[in-house]
Amino acid sequence: MDSNPDLIHGTEKAAACQMPSADAYVVHHITNLRLPKGADSMDPMVWHVDTMIVSWVLGLFFLGFLYLAARRATAGVPGKLQNFVEMLVDFVDNSVKESFHGPRNFVGPLALTIFGVVFLWNLMDLVPVDYVPYALCEVFGVPYFRIVPSADINAPFGLSLTVLALIIIYSIKGKGFAGYGKELFTHPFGGNPLLWIPNFLLNIVELIAKPVSLAMRLFGNLYAAELIFVLIALLPWWIQFIPGGAWAIFHILVVPLQAFIFMTLTIVYLSLAYEEH
Amino acid sequence: MLPSIWTLIGQAGTFLVFIWAVMKFVWPPMTQAMEERRQKIAEGLAQSEEAEQALDRARAEAEDVIRQARQKAGEIIDQAGKRGTQIVEQAKEEALSERDRQVAAAEAEIRLATNQAREALRERLAELAVAGASRVIEKEIDAKAHRDMLDKLAAEL
């Protein structure tokens, strides 16, 4: 991916904004804006600045949106904004109510945040693929810019690692330190000391599988979706609206569905963690 | 060289199709659901308001009825009191007139009895006088012949 250094740090601005070939174009689209300059993508200390900026902006937008609705909220007939937010909150609260039977004062807002944030991340996929990176390159000389945070594995993993931490916290909260420890060593095969190690290993695998599957599902869906938009952009311009349009319409399903799946699985995992077996 | 003005236009076409689909298939049911929800809330609030007003009205009405009943009860008590004194007064009057009547009757009876007694006495006296006189003159006096004189005598008594 990084074989051609000219691709990453264009020798000239104009050359950096336009790709000489189709494969260079595709590679350009799946390369994040990295700091420090020249860092390898596998470097653990690398910063994906584009993902961070976009997710911050979207997060602040979501917060501001909800804050505006909450500040203007009345007990009377709701305005359009309040009505929309109330419907959203109702929908999320009902989803939480169905699968989580403990106190909802933290899990409810958590689910709402996850749904809103993942939805907005995914929605960025519908912005025409070249517009933002090309404009930023031409105007500010930014060599790379990916605007779909969920198509960068780091963002879904950031979210799902938070969920992992919450799973552990809720396990301890629901079963106590000793109860959770006992469960780790005696489930699912039984309490025979010979089985402690296999039980524990299996439980750790199960625990790790949860955030990995959460993150990979979201990342895989949106990465593939983004790539297909990039490939469609390689077609002749007059035909693009047919496959592109179909793919975009399919996104009406994918965008909320992936957000909903992430939210629902988070709730289910927390519910499993919290409840006694 | 990519991206070119043509890829940008092609992507705009894709985006337009998406916007069209949203406008056609997503937006109307969503706005409709939202409008329905709004309407339902508005109706619910209006109904509760109406119910509150009805309650207020009913409460005022009840107060009115109670006040009227109280007033009427007072009137009835007053009337009953009046009627009671009236009855007592009437009874008193009746008793008095009865007493007067009975007293008068008794007096009349007494008068009658007195007269009768006096009459009887008078007659008895006349007889006694005749008997006495006849004893004095040792001779029967013709009662008939002396009737007038004897009656005169008796009347003098």
Residues 28-67 of B with CB under 8 A from A: 33-34, 37-38, 41-42, 45
pTM over 0.95: no
Please write down the long-range contacts of B21-26, taking CB distance under 8 Å and 24 or more positions apart. Answer: B21/A245, B21/A248, B21/A249, B21/A252, B22/A252, B25/A252, B26/A252
Q: Are the Cβ atoms of B9 and A237 closer than 8 angstroms?
A: yes
Cβ contacts of residue A81 below 8 Å, gap of 6+?
A68, A69, A72
**pLDDT tens digits for range A39-53:** 777 778 888 999 999
Measured between CA atoms, how close is A238 to chain B, in angstroms?
6
A72 labelled catalytic: no
Q: Are the Cβ atoms of B7 and A77 closer than 8 angstroms?
A: no
**pLDDT tens digits for range B1-39:** 788 888 889 999 999 999 999 999 999 999 999 999 999
- ipTM score of the complex? 0.82
**pLDDT tens digits for range A86-141:** 999 999 999 999 999 888 899 999 999 999 999 999 999 999 998 999 889 888 88
Contacts of A22 in chain B (CB under 8 A): 2
Tell me the C-alpha distance between A53 and A112, whole Å.
21
Per-residue model confidence (pLDDT) at position B140: 60
Going by pLDDT thresholds of 50, 70 and 90, the confidence category of residue A276 is: low
Q: Are the Cβ atoms of B11 and A131 closer than 8 angstroms?
A: yes
B88 Cβ under 8 Å from any chain A Cβ = no
The answer on pLDDT for A5 being more than 50 is no
Residue of A nearest to B13 (CA): A241
Using DSSP's 3-state secondary structure scheme, residue A34 falls into strand
Mean pLDDT, residues A181-194: 87
Per-residue model confidence (pLDDT) at position B147: 75
Contacts of A239 in chain B (CB under 8 A): 10
The answer on pLDDT for A257 being more than 90 is yes
Contacts of A130 in chain B (CB under 8 A): 3, 7-8, 11
